[in-house]
């Protein structure tokens, strides 16, 4: 069954600002993920570029480009839309894997899915 996992306070995510990182199990593999806020709404994606499967932030938790308009991979400059994860420029091959979020009260939760689970300790 799908579950909602507490991730952070809504105030931790600022429009165009630093990401909040978290870990998930995606298709059986432990992966880094990140949440950002864009135009008032929180969004989350796997931290895995679709050009080469590697993490995208050159400084921890920094994904936005200088304009705050796009998410950019630091390695070769693939650029993604912050709300959908769609590839909009550079060498990406398809969009980022999106993770559903919800925000209620002051808390942001991420949603599990059939191929997306929390890490078991």
By DSSP bridging, strand 87-89 and strand 79-80 are: antiparallel
Give yes or no for residue 5 binding ligand FES (CB under 6 A). Answer: no
Give yes or no for residue 52 binding ligand FES (CB under 6 A). Answer: yes
Residue in the structure block whose two tokens are 């304009």: 67
The pair of structure tokens assigned to 3 is: 């579950």
Give yes or no for residue 97 binding ligand FES (CB under 6 A). Answer: no
Give yes or no for residue 99 binding ligand FES (CB under 6 A). Answer: no
Closest CA to 53 of 18, 17, 27: 27
Classified as helix, coil or strand, 12 is helix
The residue (of 98 and 109) whose beta carbon lies closer to ligand FES is 98
Give yes or no for residue 87 binding ligand FES (CB under 6 A). Answer: no
Describe the strand order of the beta sheet including 29-38 as a list of residue ranges. 98-99, 41-46, 29-38, 20-26, 116-117
Give yes or no for residue 75 binding ligand FES (CB under 6 A). Answer: yes
Sole binder of ligand FES in the list 78, 99, 108, 116 (CB under 6 A): 78
For the bound state, the minimum distance from the C-beta of residue 107 to ligand FES, rounded and expressed in Å, comes to 31
Task: Say if residues 110 and 22 touch (Cβ distance below 8 Å).
Answer: yes
Q: Can you give the binding site for ligand FES, defined by CB under 6 A?
A: 49, 51-52, 54, 56, 73, 75-78, 90-91
């Amino acid at each position: 069954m799908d579950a909602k996992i507490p991730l952070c306070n809504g105030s931790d995510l600022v429009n165009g600002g630093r990401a909040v990182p978290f870990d998930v199990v995606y298709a059986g593999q432990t992966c880094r993920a990140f949440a950002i806020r864009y135009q008032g709404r929180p969004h989350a994606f796997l931290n895995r570029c679709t050009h080469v499967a590697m993490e995208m932030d050159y400084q921890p938790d920094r994904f936005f480009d200088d304009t705050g308009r796009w998410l950019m991979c630091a390695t070769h400059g693939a650029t993604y839309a912050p709300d959908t994860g769609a590839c909009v420029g550079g060498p990406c091959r398809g969009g980022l894997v999106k993770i559903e979020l919800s925000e209620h009260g002051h808390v942001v939760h991420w949603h599990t899915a059939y191929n997306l689970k929390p890490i078991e300790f």
